[in-house]
Amino acid sequence: GLAVGALRHSFFPDAFDFAALEPAARRENFALAFATAEERAGCAPLLEVEDMVRLPVPDAKCVYTYVQELYRCLVAKGLVKTKKR
């Protein structure tokens, strides 16, 4: 939960106080991170909070797919620069 929150916070530092997040509050951290990504970046909610907290280690392919979608949304908003081809 903290890693996902840190990623969102790096692009939207005014969205929430990262230092106030509790490491043990995985469900709340994921919910906040996903909501921030949807509201601020327009990132589709491809993952559910329950998908992330059900297992000790979330499914890597699902997480990778979500990160790709987040990246695409950040590029579309001009928050990530890409090389021109």
Q: For residue 83, tell me if it sits in a domain.
A: no
φ, ψ of residue 81 to 5 degrees: the values are: -90, 140
Q: Per the confidence metrics, is the pTM higher than 0.85? A: no
Q: What is the pLDDT of residues 2-49, one digit of tens each?
A: 888 888 888 888 888 888 989 989 899 889 889 998 999 999 989 899
Q: For residue 18, tell me if it sits in a domain.
A: yes
Domain count, the chain: 1
Output the DSSP codes for 10-46. HH-TTSS-GGG--TT-HHHHHHHHHHHHHHHH-----
CATH of residue 36: 1.10.418.10
Number of C-beta neighbours around residue 10 at 10 A: 10
**Measured distance CA(18)–CA(20) in Å, rounded:** 5
Q: For residue 23, tell me if it sits in a domain.
A: yes
pLDDT value of position 68 = 93
Q: For residue 84, tell me if it sits in a domain.
A: no
Q: For residue 72, tell me if it sits in a domain.
A: yes
Q: What is the pLDDT of residues 56-82, one digit of tens each?
A: 888 899 989 999 999 999 999 988 887
Q: For residue 45, tell me if it sits in a domain.
A: yes
4: domain range?
1-77
